[in-house]
Amino acid sequence: MIKHKAPFITFEGGEGSGKTTQVDILYHKLLQGGIDVVSYREPGGTRGAEEIRHLLMEGERDRWNPKSEALLMSAARADLIDRHIIPRLEADTWVLCDRFTDSTIAYQGFGHELGYEHIQELNHFTVGELEPDLTFIFQISAELGLERTALRKAGIHRFEHYDIMFHRRVAEGFEEILKKNPNRCVAINALLDIEMISEFIYNKICQRFSI
Ligand code: TMP
């Protein structure tokens, strides 16, 4: 375990699960409460990682094979950890992250069927002993999630062109992660309304980190 005092909290889930909205809400609530907090998204968060994000999210569906995709995710993550996440945690700043290693397990491990164990090894190589203190996993069916993203004004990205079977496997992957990590992971019913979810998250955080 990397020694840090401030919490490292991640948000995970399939497409259209509403987690990005919740990261923003929590970030502002914590700031208003006087907490020193930063928020990142993956892939992204540094100049290089945002360039990798562009490579991953744009262009035709099959531009990367599954292994290349997993490695690009990890390259972006290694840069974000090294430049921002670890220095911030060591400086006692709370870190929120919209997706982290669990997304690689669910998307590349299950969605692309590279396998849980292989992706765990890759994740371990990429992040070492760093592990989130708390992870919220947003549960939504693949069908409903994709329906929601189809309505998004910004349009859909490369991952949303993968077929429904891929997205069902991703959802199964997140369920497996929940089962395997009951202390770290908390399930969120993504069908509840925004305020109910944000209150639930804030209460969990108050309990867990005594604020
Ligand atoms: P988002 O920012 O809208 O969540 O989009 C990020 C996309 O990247 C989403 O489709 C999930 C995908 N992704 C992976 O496939 N593996 C990963 O490790 C990460 C971080 C994201």
CA of 210 to the centre of ligand 1 (A): 31
Query: How confident is the prediction for the chain on average, in pLDDT?
Result: 96
Rounded Cα distance between 112 and 61, Å, is: 13
CA of 134 to the centre of ligand 1 (A): 19
CA of 45 to the centre of ligand 1 (A): 13
Q: Is the pLDDT of residue 110 over 60?
A: yes
Atom of ligand 1 nearest to the CA of 15: 10
Q: Is the pLDDT of residue 76 over 60?
A: yes
Rounded Cα distance between 173 and 108, Å, is: 10
Q: Is the pLDDT of residue 1 over 60?
A: no
SS (H, E, C) 66-101: HHHHHHHHHHHHHHHHHHHHHHHHHCCCEEEEECCH
Rounded Cα distance between 129 and 61, Å, is: 33
Out of 17, 63, 103, give the residue to mutate to test ligand 1, the one with the largest number of ligand atoms within 8 Å of its CB: 103
> 2-6, 142-146, 172-176, 195-199: lowest mean pLDDT where?
2-6
Q: Is the pLDDT of residue 72 over 60?
A: yes
Q: Among residues 52, 15, 14, 20, which one has the least CA distance to residue 156? A: 15
Q: What percent of the chain has pLDDT over 90?
A: 94
φ/ψ of 70, rounded to 5, equals -60, -40
Whole-model pTM? 0.97
Rounded Cα distance between 69 and 181, Å, is: 25
Half-sphere exposure of 152 (CA within 13 A, CB side): 16
Q: Judge whether 172 and 122 are in contact, CB under 8 Å.
A: no
pLDDT band at 29 (very low <50, low <70, confident <90, very high): very high
> Which residues surround ligand 1 with Cβ inside 6 Å?
15, 41-43, 73, 99, 103-104, 107-108, 159
Out of 40, 112, 159, 163, give the residue to mutate to test ligand 1, the one with the largest number of ligand atoms within 8 Å of its CB: 159
Per residue in 149-170, pLDDT (tens digit) is 998 877 889 999 999 999 999 9
CA of 164 to the centre of ligand 1 (A): 16
Q: Look at residue 64 in the predicted model and tell me its pLDDT.
A: 97
Residue spans of the domains in the chain: they are 8-209
Higher local confidence (pLDDT), 62 or 1: 62
pLDDT band at 211 (very low <50, low <70, confident <90, very high): confident
DSSP 190: T
Q: Look at residue 2 in the predicted model and tell me its pLDDT.
A: 60
Q: Look at residue 3 in the predicted model and tell me its pLDDT.
A: 65
Of all protein residues, the one whose alpha carbon is nearest to atom 15 of ligand 1 is: 107
CA of 181 to the centre of ligand 1 (A): 20
Tokens of 211: 């604020």
Per residue in 87-97, pLDDT (tens digit) is 999 999 999 99
DSSP 115: -
Q: Look at residue 152 in the predicted model and tell me its pLDDT.
A: 83
User: Token match 């599954």: residue?
Assistant: 66
User: What mean pLDDT comes out for the span 70-76?
Assistant: 98
Q: Look at residue 5 in the predicted model and tell me its pLDDT.
A: 81
CATH number of 8-209: 3.40.50.300
Out of 61, 104, 107, give the residue to mutate to test ligand 1, the one with the largest number of ligand atoms within 8 Å of its CB: 107
